[in-house]
Amino acid sequence: MNAILAAGDFDLTEEAPAKINLALHVMGRRADGYHLLDMLVSFARHGDRLAFRTSEHDEFSLSGRFAPLLSADAEAGNNLVLKARDLLRQVLFEIDAPPVHIHLEKNLPIASGIGGGSADAAATLRGLTRLWGAALPEETTKAIALKLGADVPMCLASRPLVARGIGEAIELLPDFPSFSMVLGNPLVGVSTPEVFRRLSRKDNPPLLFPSRMPQGRDEWIETIRSLRNDLEPPARMICGEISTLAGLIGSQHAVVTRMSGSGATCFGIFDTIEQAEAAAALLHRQRPDWYFQATETIAGEA
């Protein structure tokens, strides 16, 4: 999926797939400030990668295209990988959870609406559970994930799903197809709180499917077209590059183009991976200063 880690020998690795919001409907807001959402989510075969090994003391190292953007505050309190390590270790206080070296290969743009930090935290939970030989109940792991952030339980699953509430109510979609896709990001930060603040309304219609769940790729494409991302209009007002980016991806004959999450990443779905790869190459030549990646999404498991 990604380049081979260049940080030495590790005991095991975990993929941290990019999270793609194929649709995101804002349904309301709770008293604690969390927004109520309905989301159709898939995960790309492209993403970050983490590696783990036992060590004499806790270590954290970085590589990858976007590692320099994290290096300065790698040990700061906002590092979800280290938070995941520490929370899991607290739960495992009766089990030996020795010091560990965690290496993060950072291939996804930072704060880009595709769950990079959340995916890394989820991969850390999966990886350290294996490394430490822990046998936690599924609900315990999910509870730890939710403490780390509303997106982390979804990323813990890393399979096609519908998520409701603040993201904790998850329904897996076992027959969901794989899509060929181009991810694009203008490498401009977008403030998620500001995007939500600029929503024209926060009580939008829910995520509705036909009387029966779609079957096969074509039916799902039509369904996805009928859905929306309620965060896209305010995000476009904040960041004009999103409109330009979506237009560029759409110009390559994507069958669906939409923003993911709170932006600024946009995706385009293509008929084949060859078309997606050709589109990504052309877009990279047009805007070499932006991020473009051809990938496929992970299909549901029956």
151 is catalytic: yes
19 is catalytic: yes
CA distance 40 to 229: 10
Identify the active-site residue in 48, 151, 203, 230.
Answer: 151
Tokens representing 284 are 């990279």
- Amino acid (1-letter code) at residue 64: G
CA distance 127 to 206: 35
Tokens representing 209 are 């499917």
* CA dihedral angle for residue 163, residue 80, residue 182, residue 254, rounded to 10 degrees: 30
Q: Please say whether the beta carbons of 231 and 199 come within 8 A.
A: yes
Of 243, 287, 299, 283, residue with least CA distance to 266: 243
- Could you tell me which residues come within 8 angstroms of residue 129 by beta carbon, excluding any fewer than 6 positions away? 88, 136, 141
CA distance 113 to 213: 26
- Amino acid (1-letter code) at residue 244: T
Identify the active-site residue in 19, 83, 106, 142.
Answer: 19
Residues carrying an active site annotation: 19, 151
